[in-house]
């Protein structure tokens, strides 16, 4: 009788362990999926920021060029005024 009770306890324990393993593997898959989604979102944001940074650098260069041209014109006007 005791051996049957021990067998029943062992089977029930094995069932709970199996359910726990299934639940843990499902949780790990969901967690990995969420991590992958966050990583992809971050990569997309980094690419967008790099593009924005490049565009900003180009605009700064254009502004510098415009400022140089304006300074040249001012220098010419000052030379004419002397």
pTM: 0.53
CA angle 68, 69, 72 (to 5 degrees): 85
Handedness of CA 71, 77, 81, 82 (dihedral sign): positive
Residue 33 has a pLDDT of: 87
User: pLDDT digit string (tens) for 31-80?
Assistant: 888 899 999 999 999 999 999 999 999 999 999 999 999 999 999 998 88
Structure confidence by residue, pLDDT tens digits, 6-40: 767 777 777 777 777 767 777 778 888 889 999 99
How far apart CA 46 and CA 54 sit, in angstroms, is: 12
Alpha helices in 1-82 (DSSP H): 2-81
Q: Which pLDDT does position 74 carry in this prediction?
A: 93
Distances (CA, A) of 30 to 19, 40, 70: 17, 15, 59
């Amino acid at each position: 009788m005791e051996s049957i009770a021990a067998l029943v306890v062992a089977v029930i324990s094995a069932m709970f362990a199996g359910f726990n393993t299934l639940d843990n593997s499902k949780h790990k898959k969901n967690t990995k999926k969420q991590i992958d989604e966050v990583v992809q979102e971050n990569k997309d944001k980094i690419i967008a920021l790099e593009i924005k940074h490049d565009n900003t650098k180009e605009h700064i260069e254009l502004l510098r060029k415009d400022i140089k041209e304006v300074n040249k014109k001012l220098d010419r006007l000052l030379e004419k005024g002397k």
